[in-house]
Amino acid sequence: MSILRGSSSGSGIPVFLLAENRLLREALVRLLSKKDDILIVGSGSYSPQILQEILSSGPDIVVLDSVSKALSQDRVVHRLLEARPATGVVMVGMEADEDVFLRLVREGVLGYVLTDASSLEVWRAIRDVAAGEAVCPPSLSVALFRFAAQSQPSLSQVRVRKNIDLSPRQQQLARLIREGLSNKEVAARLNLSEQTVKNHVHRMLRKVGATDRVSMAELYSSDGVA
């Protein structure tokens, strides 16, 4: 059962501690409560009502200690982030296991702290994640880069999709964007409304899997689209 410990007079980063291990939970509450920039708004172990208790306490950061619970059928991390996307999730007491680490990253975890970490490292991880950064041990950084690289479609895959999906109008748009024209200039050149151009560009980005209009135009043009 969750034990709410927050105080309306307190200030600092609102943190909820979700730990199956009671000794760890109480130790973290004790240690982090001494930090001026941390406000413990709640703590507890896993239970059917724990998600609602977390949401009710309004934390910026949730600290968890159990991989099996985080990745269980209940998918507490996934459900938490669906309900409160801005929440930062920090896993503590973890092993340097690449597969587990990457599974947690896919769930949305932003902080990953190993079993041999000090209380100072846990505190820093909470602060860094609250500041919009991601935290992982150096030993797992390579796994993260490899995962990111493998998650991107290869250029050849993108070009296959391009050749299948590209309409004549989109070919015109791609050429003009690649020349450096803005959406407004493209609209004037093709006698279209600027909103129509924006709609085309949005659809093209989704088709090619690019993150911006310039990258999209380069990919569409790289196979010699006339």
Q: Are 52 and 7 in contact (CB under 8 A)?
A: no
Decide which of 107, 131, 150 is a domain's last residue.
Answer: 150
* Per-residue 3-state assignment (H helix, E strand, C coil) for 212-225: CHHHHHHHHHCCCC
- Angle 103-129-89 (CA atoms, 0-180°, nearest 5)? 45
pLDDT at 58: 92
Give the CATH number of the domain where residue 25 resides. 3.40.50.2300
pLDDT at 165: 56
Give pairs for 138-143: CB < 8 Å, separation 24+: 139/96, 140/96, 140/98, 140/101, 140/112, 143/98, 143/101, 143/102
140 & 159 share domain: no
pLDDT at 201: 80
pLDDT at 215: 66
Spatial distance between the Cα atoms of 217 and 65, rounded to a whole number of angstroms: 45
pLDDT tens sequence across 185-198: 888 888 888 888 88
**Percentage with pLDDT > 90 across the chain:** 26
Return the minimum-mean-pLDDT range out of 151-155, 175-179, 216-220: 151-155
140 & 166 share domain: no
Q: Is the pLDDT of residue 160 over 50?
A: no
Give the CATH number of the domain where residue 186 resides. 1.10.10.10
Q: Is the pLDDT of residue 70 over 90?
A: no
58 & 76 share domain: yes
pTM, rounded to two decimals? 0.63
Decide which of 115, 150, 185 is a domain's last residue.
Answer: 150
- Angle 198-200-204 (CA atoms, 0-180°, nearest 5)? 115
What value does the mean pLDDT of the chain take? 80
pLDDT confidence band for 40 (50 / 70 / 90): very high
Q: Is the pLDDT of residue 152 over 70?
A: no
146 & 160 share domain: no
Domain-embedded: residue 145? yes
13: tokens are 């980063």
Task: Give residue 166's domain range.
Answer: 155-221
pLDDT confidence band for 216 (50 / 70 / 90): low
pLDDT at 109: 93
Query: Domain count of the chain?
Result: 2
72 & 140 share domain: yes
SS3 content of the chain, % helix, strand, coil (to 5): 55, 15, 35
Decide which of 132, 150, 168 is a domain's last residue.
Answer: 150
24 & 122 share domain: yes
pLDDT confidence band for 154 (50 / 70 / 90): very low
pLDDT at 92: 92
Most confident of 71-75, 121-125, 201-205: 121-125
Closest CA to 107 of 85, 92, 135: 85
Domain-embedded: residue 2? no
Spatial distance between the Cα atoms of 20 and 91, rounded to a whole number of angstroms: 12
